[in-house]
Homo-oligomer: A and B are copies of this chain.
Amino acid sequence: MLEMFTEPRGVAVVGASTSPEKLGYQVLHNIIQYGYEGAIYPINPTAPEILGFKAYASVLDCPDPVDLAVLLVPNKAVPGVIEQCGQRGLKGAVIITAGFREVGPAGKALEQQVVDIAKKYGMRLIGPNVLGIIDTVCKLNASFAAGMPNRGKIAFMSQSGALCTSILDMALGQGIGFSRFYSIGNKADINELDLVTAWAEDPETRAIMGYLEGITKGPDFIRVASEVTRHKPIIAIKSGTTSAGSKAVSSHTGSLAGSEAAYDAAFKQCGIIRAGSVQELFDFAQAFARQPLLEGPNLAVITNAGGPGIMASDAIEHAGLQLASLTSETKQYLQPLLPAAASVANPIDVLGDAPAERYALAIEAALKDPNVNALLLVLTPQTSTQIPETAEALGKLSKQYGKPVFGAMMGDVAIRKGVEVLRSYDVPNYQVPERAVAAIAAMWHQRMWLKRPKLAVEELPADRAKVREVFAKVRAEGRVTMGDTEAREVLEAYGIPLPKTGLAATADEAVTLAESIGYPVVMKIASPDILHKSDIGGIKLNISSASEVRDAFDLLVYRGKRHMPDATIWGCQIQQQVKGGREIIIGVNRDPQFGPLIMFGLGGIYVEALKDVTFRVAPIDRRAATEMLDEIRSYKLLRGVRGEKPSDRAAIVDTLLRISQLVTEFPEIVELDINPLIVFEEGRGVLGIDMRLALK
């Protein structure tokens, strides 16, 4: 896939220039300098040749073979050039030129024009507004980057072209190689979804790395990425995570959601590993590209210094990994071979005067130990430390035993040679043990992801016709929001248990209803216009007699009218009063990128004061719903604490699945809160008490 970029037989540089300070020169120079072996055609209306290559006035004049164009012409000229590329039968174009969507409406229109032309000819586009693309496999550097990265097994994409220059420079400094390196800019055509799809099948790529500012097709991306991560890790930085610019929202779920929660949920659901900085992106990518995954979470640490050994152990525990328990065979083998003061427990301390040979003994013993899944070598450059020799030993033994190994040679100048030796054996080195451990933890996370069964969304029975009918009625009345009474009907249609209830238009009807439900009852003002009833005193509890019903009816209607004189007031809702149980909140908010975002948490103070909630993008399966229950900080409360019986977790899971199905089948639902949903003891189910729902 996307062979026009990975295996073009010829490249035309449209806007090639004879002036070395121009990008049109630099890009051509890069293509030539770094050894691209296909045909190269500078396109320039006046120059007869550039950098020794014959120039042509237009793409139309290019001889065969030519598959790809790189555009450096002014923005207004781009549509014409793309038209010519189409006519000439080119398959792809990299539009380096800026001045499109990023500069406003006129630019956006221009961009759309370009896309339309390319579509007409079946051409694929990268950009506009990019640094270019680099492919180390076909040795094509079609960019104005200041260098060419080494060939390697990481494919990288970035929405920021400028960041590419930093990443390339760091990669050169650290000897990290790439297979493909694409700046994707405005993503007018090819976006992260296309690249993830293509790179999934790319034999030259072991790990996919990206810098993203937004996802173009959220739901598709989730679907595809969660397949890809099952055989290739995706590591991403997503920036713009903080709340600064997030819009004001009215619902509980909405105010807690924000795009950060959506991205977090989506990435989690796809198995994408999220890096917190460019440094972490590199740290993780190095590990994934160079070492096999861990088969278990048990690490051996070998060190020539106690302090850094402790730091490594601390980091291992904090990261949720474990120090391996070495077998007694390993300990008995090592004991006589190491000095008396050395420690053969894990971390294995080979002491400050350890030569490479002593390190090697410990490394081999640890790698042989069946309890050890991975090895971290910690080294401080002491007087008698043999740094390159120790690196050599680690490298060789890692190849021999095939278990993942990592270096934490701590230093700078003194360890440089050692780091180079490690690199030659594909062993990544980290300047401090904490960074090594973070990378190992990311790999263990990936291993666990691979073990996870695929998403298996069930279809539960539901009365879709009823829901359509309610929505039609609401819309017919020119409304998009609905309160308790209507939302109830919708939830009931999807099998969500609700307390006995009814709507009374008059006080007399209210008494009849209350007596059929049985006292005590709860009464609420019933109005499509009043959404936050408790704020206006529109709810009365513990109503136990006919006269109390009458009093409450009059009071609630009075308060409703006082609050909003123009409100439509249907009367009062009479509801079975629920006793006991624990308050839960389940909500849905529609995220602009990913669609319906389901929130779960304990209700009341837990959501209000502690904001202890978790999110998933719908649809979810039983496993994901169960995980949500265990993800909140207060998860123990549902399992029963202080002698309380456990709550009916299965009923909550069931409710989450029904909500997931509802909002997936009815994408017009943009907001939904059940707050509270009361959960009773195990086996006794749940009841939705108060709810609201809003349509698009």
Contacts and interface: CB of A to CB of B under 8 A. Distances in A.
Interface string A411-439: 11111000000000000000111110000
A310 interface: yes
A308 B240 CA distance: 10
A46 to B, nearest CB: 23
A38 interface: no
Given A146-B383, A314-B239, A163 B305 contact: yes
A291 B391 CA distance: 38
Interface in A593-650: 604-605, 608-610, 633-637, 641-642
B308 A163 contact: yes
A162, A279, A412 interface centre (most CB from chain B within 10 Å)? A162
Contact of A432 (B165, B277, B341, B433): B277
A160 interface: yes
Given A23-B383, A240-B313, A605-B642, 7 more contacts: A146-B383, A158-B307, A160-B308, A170-B412, A242-B313, A242-B314, A605-B637
A288 interface: no
B314 A163 contact: no
B310 A380 contact: no
Nearest to A410: B166
Contacts of A103: 341
B641 A605 contact: yes
A563 B432 CA distance: 53
Interface in A395-417: 410-415
Contact of A310 (B213, B313, B382): B213
Given A213-B307, A641-B605, A380 B413 contact: no
A315 B174 CA distance: 24
B277 A434 contact: yes
Interface of A: 23, 26, 103, 144, 146, 158-163, 165-166, 169-170, 172-174, 211, 213, 237, 239-244, 276-279, 304-308, 310-311, 313-315, 317-318, 323, 341, 352, 380-383, 410-415, 431-435, 604-605, 608-610, 633-637, 641-642
Contacts of A635: 609
B608 A642 contact: yes
Nearest to A308: B163
Copies of this protein chain in the complex: 2
A47 B94 CA distance: 75
A311 B277 contact: yes
A641 B608 contact: yes
B412 A160 contact: no
Nearest to A276: B434
Nearest to A310: B239
A307 to B, nearest CB: 3
A609 B641 contact: yes
A678 to B, nearest CB: 16
A381 to B, nearest CB: 5
Contacts of A279: 431-432, 434-435
Nearest to A415: B169
11 contacts: A103-B341, A159-B307, A160-B305, A162-B382, A170-B411, A173-B412, A242-B317, A242-B318, A608-B641, A609-B636, A610-B633
B162 A305 contact: yes
A410 B314 CA distance: 29
A211 B159 contact: no
Contacts of A435: 277, 279
B277 A169 contact: no
A315 B276 CA distance: 9
Contact of A211 (B242, B307, B341): B307
A67 B633 CA distance: 60
B413 A166 contact: no
A144, A158, A172, A605 interface centre (most CB from chain B within 10 Å)? A605
A166, A352, A381, A605 interface centre (most CB from chain B within 10 Å)? A166
A160 B306 contact: yes
A304 B162 contact: yes
A170 B239 contact: no
Contacts of A411: 165-166, 169-170, 173
B383 A26 contact: yes
Contacts of A642: 604-605, 608
B241 A306 contact: no
Contacts of A308: 160, 162-163, 166
B313 A244 contact: yes
Nearest to A379: B166
Contacts of A158: 307
A530 B439 CA distance: 49
A211 B241 CA distance: 34
A383 B131 CA distance: 10
Contacts of A174: 412
